[in-house]
Amino acid sequence: MMDAKIPIIEPLAREQRLYERGTARILGLVKDETWKSGDRLPAERELADAFGVSRTVVREAIKVLEAQGVLETVTGSGVYVRPPDSSVVSRSLQTYIQLLDQDDIALRLTEIRRVLEVEIAALAAERATPEQRDQLEQLCREMRQQQDCAEALATLDLRFHLLLADATQNQLFRILLTPLIEQLGEHFLYMWEGYGPRPLERVFEQHEALVTAIQHGQVEQARQTMTGHLAYSCEVLQESLQRKRPQDIE
């Protein structure tokens, strides 16, 4: 594979936090495909000369872009442009969520899910492939088969909602939803462990009604069913957290 050539580059203006300008310039060259996925960047010294800055500035810019998943350093070979990786975005968002104040984070995330997943359900009804419809039905059957195992139900529930995001045929929904759902993993388990008057049958029926709407391409019905399902989930989550708080205080 040939090295990427140095394009015509204007020297960077010498301002505070110069490496940030270097980061933006390199990212721009990747975005406009001057340097394509798989290309090896010119040597650090060549980049420094082209940008009119020190090698330290170039090195810091590369570190930033490596952290963002844009570049990758291969020991003994050089720095390469990485293919787009959506998991980097999801991991970054999940890290941010984990660092937030945890007191009411579960309810905050549930509110966001109610905004996203209602339209996800509608789009899934419009766009899901036959294979995805079959997979959703299969997950519903597996939930009934695993009704005595809360951990298995929580895992299947997570897979169900992520599959709905995939069924929109818009990968951005999966990128946005994945960290929210994974952060709520513990609360999914709470809700499936059996608490108060919540019957499993009601939850199974909600999932199945949603799949039926998607199977028949009923966009508005899918939207309404998901609205009801998430409202109920939020209600159950609030009750679960209220029961848990007195134990935490002790």
Span 197-250, pLDDT tens digits? 456 888 899 999 999 999 999 999 999 999 999 988 888 777 766 766 555 444
Chain segment 154-197, per-residue pLDDT in tens: 899 999 999 999 999 999 899 888 888 877 777 777 777 754 44
Sign of the CA dihedral with 99 first, then 157, 210, and 229 last:
negative
When mean pLDDT is compared across 30-39, 115-124, 131-140, 179-188, the lowest value belongs to 179-188
**Residue spans per domain, the chain:** 18-81, 87-249
Is the CATH number of domain 87-249 1.20.120.530? yes
> For residue 74, what is the enclosing H or E element?
strand 71-74
pLDDT at 12 exceeding the cut of 80 = no
Residue 118 backbone dihedrals phi, psi, to 5 degrees: -65, -45
pLDDT band per the 50, 70, 90 thresholds, residue 85: confident
Residue 194 backbone dihedrals phi, psi, to 5 degrees: 95, 110
Alpha-carbon gap, residue 121 to 168, rounded angstroms: 8
Q: What whole-number percentage of the chain has pLDDT above 90?
A: 46
Residues 6+ apart with CB under 8 A from 47: 6, 26, 41, 58
**Assigned token pair, 208:** 């199945």
* Fold that domain 18-81 belongs to in CATH: Arc Repressor Mutant, subunit A (1.10.10)
Are 102 and 61 contacting, i.e. CB atoms less than 8 angstroms apart?
Answer: no
**What is the reported pTM?**
0.69
